[in-house]
Structure 1
Amino acid sequence: MTRQEVNELLSPILVELQEKKKEKGLTFEKIAEAIDRSELYTAAIFYGQAKPEEKDLEALSSVLNIPKDKLVAELGPSFFPLRGGLSSSPPTDPTLYRLHEAMTVYSMPIKEIINEKFGDGIMSAIDFRGAVERVEDPAGARVKITFDGKFLPFRRW
């Protein structure tokens, strides 16, 4: 999926967030610092995958020079994310495809290890934190992705 195709799936305000980010030469890390959120959560806001609070919109307004009233009207109390749906399955973008491949190959082993260590249950994607880090290595830079979700046991009734 091309950037243009992704932009066609995003609402105009989300496209504007992306454009202002690029125009100002900002990274998600810098924006996250300015709005006091994690880098991954901040990026999720820009793709309509997370619901910003009013304080986030106020900070984004300041950082990106977008009127706060406009952000509140589009992303405020009446906005609810439509999570997922920004990529085909399997995805065609090489980075997304490799993430999909890694989860396809390792999801069952990860599930089994979760069950062995915690019992019968799941990792929450709602009570969740994640991070992407660059790790220097003599053989070449490595990508470290952390998924940190609350364990939720299945209830018996």
Structure 2
Amino acid sequence: MNKAEMKQAVLAAKRHGGLSWSDIAEAAGLSPEFTCSACLGMNHLEERSATAVAELLGLSTDVADALQTFPDKSWVNTIPTDPLIYRWYEMVNVYGETIKELIHEEFGDGIMSAIDFTMKIDREEDPKGDRVHVTISGKFLPYKSW
């Protein structure tokens, strides 16, 4: 089973079972954000977590095996057309250089890791309309001279 087939099986079982990503993450013993990413094929799970997810969803060991396979992190579209994902690209285009300048000013020349990285998504109630609260934390990796 490849990652695309795994993704479709997981999404169908999640929908059929009426489960949330928090339910699935609890079985995996991981955060909802990371668990969802792995179930969508962009990360992998260790054996215990993969087995627990497949069992919770009533899916085969083929799904558990696919969840453990290292992903090929590639994108079909350079700029996605899904409105929610596109807005993230828009934010990076508008504020990316600002983020880079402020990180360099605070930390020096380097990058923020997307490997040593955490993310948390929360709902923030607001009388003017609920807000999406995203917290992203990545390790700073300085460029080295040699």
Change (3 A) 1:75 1:46: closer
Cross-structure match for 1:150: 139
> What does residue 27 of structure 2 align with?
34
Q: Which runs of 5+ in 2 are unaligned?
A: none
> After the TM superposition, which segments of 4 or more aligned residues of structure 1 sit over 6 Å from their partners?
none
1:2-13 alignment runs, 5 A limit: 11-13=4-6
Cα distance between partner residues in 1 of 2:135 and 2:84: 16
Aligned counterpart, 1:6: none
RMSD: 1.7
Aligned equivalent of 2:67: 75
> What corresponds to 1:62 in structure 2?
55
> TM-score scaled to structure 1, two decimals?
0.85
Q: Which of 58, 67, 81 is the aligned partner of 1:92?
A: 81
Change (3 A) 1:10 1:27: same
Q: How many residues align?
A: 145
SS across alignment from 1:89: coil
Could you report, residue by residue, the CA deviation over 1:50-109 in whole angstroms, capped at 9, with x for unpaired residues?
A: 011001112112211113x32343333xx22011415x2322111111111011111110
Residue in structure 2 matched with residue 117 of structure 1 by the alignment:
106
Question: Residues 15-38 of structure 1: CA distance to partner in whole angstroms, max 9, x if unpaired?
Answer: 101110111111112211221111
* CA gap 1:134/1:47 in 2 versus in 1, 3 angstroms: same
Q: TM-score, normalised by structure 2?
A: 0.91
